[in-house]
Structures are given as structure tokens and as C-alpha cells.
């Protein structure tokens, strides 16, 4: 019989090892209160000595920009995810089903994804002077930026950890660009530019105050988990879907599209684009391109995520901690520009009576090959704490790409 759960909030930020451990131990637990949070930015080519100043401000050296450009292949990828969630489950029997619990959650999510060409990064980093007498291929370029909150309620099976949840989604900010063609020709001595451009742009209402609601939507979150055996040892498999839904942005949302060739002349154009600031400001450039916005409602699918986790191999139970599997293999995909399927492999170790540590590797997402580390602490009173970094090297090095941390605090009673 299908497990139903109405409104769940931020499984995106769920740290899978604690969730799966709970699935095998939750029959004795009537209530759970938890907080999860993540902060992550990453790229497959742009290192932290460029990424960090771009995000937080600061100088970017020419050498750092050149190193990033040299690392970009056919295209570059980058993105960031930031968010937090508070969730709770209670009761141990609803609708006449033992082990079913009510579930509610409240969360906030900020996400950005971008996929760009090497020439786009070169022009953005060094200006277009190096393309004198040549054409820079600035496309394909895809970009999305999201800021939204969710309030959910649903039903969870305490024995397996499976759930189904429906959430109301409040959108506060959205930006999207999809450029199919952008060929920029710079004439000798920068006398003129020709831009052959085809693409579209959408954004949410800009007339409201920062943080105000500009769209409303719904999302479905679900998880199916089951216990099994693997080479005679206990194993767990789960498949989780997050943010499968949409937001309808209000009638003041803006959109623009263009498919034409634009000629610029009569202005110094050697550095029309530069990380230090464009010569032509945004309003002037918009007018020159003929990008007149139209207003109206916009319906956009949320950046959904799907994740499968397989845990196997018995790990000796230590002290107050729940029984865990010794190994974890997982794959996930999130629908954002620049995000590719991400795979991770973890090995788990018991330390003393209350500590468990994980170490492993991951590949994909917005970045490349990454080292992972995680540590968890449990008390006899039912308090569990877990801290992880999906990018252990990048967290401490400006010469690596990306930084990421995750936190989960859980109370069981």
C-alpha cells in the first residue's frame, strides 16, 4: 500500500546517512525534531581565488583569471546552493496504521546554476580586446537563479523512512537566461561591434521590496526506502524526489527575447565586458540591444532533485549511536544549468562509544572529483549531531574549486 505524506520541506538538505540509519531504528521513536542546513558553491574549472571574490567581493588577479580560463574545456559549469530546514514528526499511529507518523517542515532555498562557453568567460574576464578582428562565441549560455521557501505537511512510515509530502512554495526571486547564439565580432581597433544574438530572459517582479512574495506554487516530495540483504549482510536502498513542482510568478514578471544582429559604433568598445565593470552600463546595453521587457505571469518548474542511496555492510554499533551500514553508494541529479549527475562513495567508521566518521569521494554536480568527510555524534538522551564537507580540500584551499559544508542536528524522544 502506498505511503502518503502531505507536504515535506527541504529533503534537499537531508544528510542521507542519518536518514537511512533512522529508517531501521525508528520503530521505537515517537517524535523527532531536526534541523538541516547546507552551504555550497562549486565549479568544474573556476578556482576559489576567482569564485570567492566574485561571490563575496574582492580583487581577482589576472593570473587567477587566466588559470581558470585555461581549465575550461568545451564549456564551464558553476553554481551555488544555500538553505536550511526545520522538520518534525510525531505520533506513531495515524489513520489506523501503526508506525505512520505526521510530518511537517519549513525550509528556505537559494540556488544558482550556470553553464557557459570559454569565450564568454574570456570576454567577461579580460574584455573583448583580445578578440580584435575575430568573433567570440559567447553561447550557448544558460543561467538560473532561485530564491524560495516551502511549508509542507505529510505522512512518514517510521519503520522504513518512506514518506509522501505536499508543500506550498513561496517564491521571492527568479532569474533565467537561455542564449542559443551570441557571436560577438570586434572590428580592428575596436571601431565597431557586431553581435548576432538569439536568446530569451525571464525574471520575477522587480517592483516589490527585497524578500517579498512574487510567486506561489506547489511541490511534491517523496521517498521510498526498503531493507534488503546484500551478499548475506543487511542493506538499505532509498529513492528520494525533492521539489517536483512549480511556481507561478506574478503578473509583474518580466520577459524578453531577441533574434537579430546588432551593430555598435561610435563608442570605445574594447572593454565592453569586463569583470571590473562594463564600459556600457546595463540600461544602455539593454536599450542598444532592443531588449524591451514584456510583463505577465510566468509558470516555471522548480529545480527538482532525485537521489538514490544504497547502504550495505554491517558496521558494529558503538555506544549510543544507531546501527549503521559500513558503505554508502549514491547518485543524484538536480535540474539546474551546469549540474551533471553526481555520484559518491563513502566508507563509515565507528570511533569510541558515540562517534561515527565517514570518508569518501564524489564526482559531478557543479564540480569535478571531490574528497568528502563527515563526522557524527550521538548521545544517550537522543540528541544527534552531524557535520560534513562534500569538498574537504576546497574548504581550506583557494587553489582548489568550491567550498561546501553541511550540518544536521536531530532530537529523538
pLDDT in tens, 20-32: 334 334 345 568 8
Identify the weakest region by mean pLDDT among 183-187, 260-264, 291-295, 407-411. Answer: 291-295
Q: Residue written as cell 519549513?
A: 106
| pLDDT for position 402 | 95
Cell of 176: 533565467
Please give the residue that has the higher pLDDT: either 273 or 104. Answer: 104
The CB-side HSE value for 161 (13 A sphere, CA atoms) comes to 22
Residues 64-84: tens digit of each pLDDT: 999 999 999 899 999 999 999
Are the CB atoms for 48 and 399 separated by under 8 Å?
A: yes
In tens, the pLDDT along 142-192 reads: 999 999 999 999 999 988 889 999 999 999 999 999 999 999 999 987 788
Domains identified in the chain, total number: 1
Domain contains 3 = no
Asked if the structure places residue 32 within a domain, the reply is: yes
Asked whether the CA dihedral 140, 176, 79, 124 is positive or negative, the reply is: positive
Instruction: Return the number of other C-beta atoms located less than 10 Å from residue 233's C-beta.
Output: 13
Torsion angles phi and psi, residue 44, rounded to 5: -85, -10
- From residue 381, how far is each of 134, 182, 385, 386, 411 by CA, in Å? 68, 60, 12, 16, 8
**154 is in which domain, residue-wise?**
11-412
Detail the DSSP E strand segments found in 62-213.
Answer: 76-90, 93-94, 97-98, 100-116, 135-137, 141-157, 163-186, 192-203
Residue 133 and residue 122: Cα distance in Å, rounded? 16
Cα end-to-end distance, the chain, whole Å: 28
Q: What DSSP letter does each residue of 378-409 carry, written as one string? A: E-TTSEEEEEEES-TTTTT-TTSS-EEEEEEE
The percent of residues above 90 in pLDDT, for the chain, comes to 65
Question: Phi-psi category of 107—alpha, beta or left, where left has phi over 0 and alpha has psi -120 to 50?
Answer: beta
Residue of higher predicted confidence among 318 and 198: 198
Give the per-residue pLDDT at 158.
Answer: 87
What pLDDT does 280 receive? 43
Q: What is the pTM of this model?
A: 0.85
**CA angle, 378 then 242 then 224, to 5°:** 70
Spatial separation of the C-alpha atoms in residues 249 and 229, rounded to whole Å: 47
Cβ neighbours of residue 110 closer than 8 Å, sequence gap 6 or more: 80, 81, 82, 83, 146, 147
pLDDT above 70 covers a percentage of the chain that reads 85
Tell me which DSSP letter residue 26 carries. Answer: G
Do the domain assignments include residue 92? yes
**Per-residue pLDDT reduced to its tens digit, 285-303:** 555 555 678 999 999 999 9
Residue 133: the pLDDT is 92
- Structure-model confidence comparison of residues 185 and 92, the more confident one: 185
Helix count and strand count (H, E) for the chain: 5, 21
pLDDT digits (tens, 9 = 90+) for 109-132: 999 999 999 999 999 999 888 899
In a domain, 336, yes or no: yes
* 131 secondary structure, DSSP code: G
Number of C-alpha atoms within 13 angstroms, CB side, residue 188? 0
Q: What is the pLDDT of residues 40-54, one digit of tens each?
A: 999 999 999 999 998
> Does a structural domain hold residue 1?
no
Q: Binning pLDDT at 50, 70 and 90, where does residue 264 land?
A: confident
Q: Which residue has the higher pLDDT, 273 or 51?
A: 51
* Closest CA relative to residue 80, chosen from 393, 290, 397, 337: 337
- At 207-228, the pLDDT tens digits run 888 889 999 999 999 999 999 9
In a domain, 5, yes or no: no
Q: How much is the pLDDT for 23? A: 37
Mean of pLDDT over the chain:
85
Cβ contacts of 266 within 8 Å, gap of 6 or more: none
Average pLDDT, integer, range 253-263: 90
Residue 112: Cβ-neighbour burial (10 angstroms; 0-12, 13-18, 19+): buried
Amino acid at each position: 500500500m502506498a505511503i502518503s505524506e502531505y507536504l515535506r520541506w527541504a529533503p534537499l538538505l537531508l544528510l542521507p546517512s542519518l536518514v537511512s540509519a533512522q529508517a531501521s531504528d525508528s520503530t521505537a521513536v515517537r517524535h523527532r525534531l531536526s534541523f538541516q542546513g547546507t552551504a555550497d558553491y562549486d565549479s568544474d574549472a573556476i578556482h576559489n581565488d576567482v569564485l570567492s571574490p566574485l561571490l563575496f567581493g574582492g580583487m581577482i588577479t589576472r593570473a587567477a583569471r587566466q588559470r581558470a580560463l585555461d581549465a575550461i574545456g568545451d564549456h564551464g559549469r558553476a553554481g551555488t546552493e544555500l538553505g536550511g530546514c526545520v522538520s518534525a514528526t510525531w505520533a506513531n499511529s495515524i489513520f489506523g496504521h501503526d508506525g505512520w507518523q505526521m510530518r511537517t517542515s519549513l525550509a528556505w532555498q537559494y540556488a544558482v546554476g550556470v553553464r557557459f562557453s570559454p569565450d564568454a568567460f574570456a570576454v567577461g574576464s579580460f574584455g573583448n580586446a583580445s578578440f580584435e578582428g575575430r568573433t567570440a562565441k559567447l553561447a550557448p549560455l544558460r543561467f538560473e537563479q532561485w530564491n524560495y521557501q516551502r511549508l509542507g505537511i505529510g505522512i512518514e512510515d517510521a519503520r522504513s523512512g518512506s514518506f509522501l509530502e505536499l508543500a506550498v512554495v513561496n517564491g521571492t526571486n527568479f532569474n533565467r537566461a537561455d542564449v542559443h547564439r551570441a557571436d560577438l565580432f570586434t572590428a580592428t581597433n575596436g571601431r565597431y561591434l557586431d553581435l548576432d544574438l538569439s536568446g530569451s530572459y525571464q525574471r520575477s517582479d522587480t517592483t516589490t521590496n527585497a524578500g517579498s512574495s512574487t510567486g506561489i506554487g506547489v511541490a511534491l516530495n517523496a521517498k521510498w526506502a526498503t531493507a534488503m540483504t546484500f551478499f548475506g549482510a543487511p542493506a538499505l536502498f532509498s529513492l528520494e524526489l525533492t521539489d517536483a513542482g512549480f511556481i507561478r510568478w506574478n503578473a509583474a514578471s518580466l520577459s524578453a527575447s531577441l533574434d537579430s544582429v546588432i551593430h555598435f559604433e561610435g563608442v570605445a568598445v574594447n572593454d565592453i565586458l569586463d569583470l571590473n565593470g562594463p564600459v556600457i552600463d546595463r540600461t544602455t546595453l539593454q536599450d542598444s540591444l532592443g531588449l524591451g521587457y514584456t510583463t505577465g505571469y510566468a509558470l516555471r518548474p522548480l529545480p527538482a532533485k532525485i537521489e538514490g542511496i544504497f547502504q550495505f555492510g554491517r558496521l558494529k554499533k558503538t555506544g549510543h549511536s544507531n546501527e549503521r551500514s559500513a558503505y554508502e553508494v549514491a547518485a543524484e541529479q538536480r535540474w539546474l544549468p551546469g549540474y551533471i549527475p553526481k555520484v559518491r562513495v563513502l566508507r563509515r567508521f565507528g570511533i569510541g562509544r558515540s562517534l561515527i566518521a565517514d570518508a569518501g569521494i564524489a564526482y559531478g554536480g557543479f564540480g569535478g572529483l571531490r574528497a568528502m568527510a563527515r563526522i557524527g555524534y550521538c548521545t544517550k538522551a537522543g540528541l544527534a549531531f552531524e557535520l560534513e564537507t562534500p569538498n574537504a580540500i576546497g574548504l581550506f584551499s583557494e587553489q582548489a574549486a568550491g567550498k561546501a559544508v553541511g550540518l544536521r542536528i536531530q532530537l529523538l524522544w
